[in-house]
């Protein structure tokens, strides 16, 4: 999938105060314009990429400052990277998630 980097919207989050996945979803879902039915789980997040979010791709989500998060919660949130990659492959929309 080829895309101009000029067309990609970048969405940054400061996660330095996040304590778990609830904070991740509370920040991410409204920015994506996810419908009300998208709950705090990875399957629902994936389903939202099927054209249900009001924010149109392409976009890169960049999360900063997760160093203080408990390891189990961090591991869960990092699995969302694969959800974004799977959505790119399945739906053909450029959406990405990375952690800095």
Q: What is the rounded CA–CA span in Å between residue 52 and residue 98?
A: 22
Domain CATH number, residue 29: 3.30.370.10
41-71 tens-digit pLDDT: 999 999 999 999 999 999 999 999 998 899 9
pLDDT at residue 18, as a whole number? 95
Confidence at 6, pLDDT banded by 50, 70, 90 = low
Q: Which structural domain range is residue 36 located in? A: 5-99
Q: What is the rounded CA–CA span in Å between residue 64 and residue 90?
A: 27
pLDDT at residue 59, as a whole number? 97
Domain count, the chain: 1
Q: How confident is the prediction for the chain on average, in pLDDT?
A: 92
Q: Considering the entire predicted model, what is its pTM?
A: 0.90
């Amino acid at each position: 999938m080829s895309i101009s980097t000029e067309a990609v919207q970048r969405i940054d989050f400061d996660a330095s105060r996040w304590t778990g996945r609830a904070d991740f979803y509370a920040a991410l879902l409204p920015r994506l314009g996810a419908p009300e039915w998208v709950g705090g789980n990875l399957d629902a997040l994936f389903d939202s990429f099927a054209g249900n979010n009001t924010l149109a791709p392409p976009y890169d989500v960049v999360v900063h400052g997760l160093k203080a998060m408990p390891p189990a919660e961090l591991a869960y949130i990092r699995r969302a990277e694969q959800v974004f990659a799977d959505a790119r492959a399945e739906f053909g929309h450029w959406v990405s998630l990375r952690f800095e």
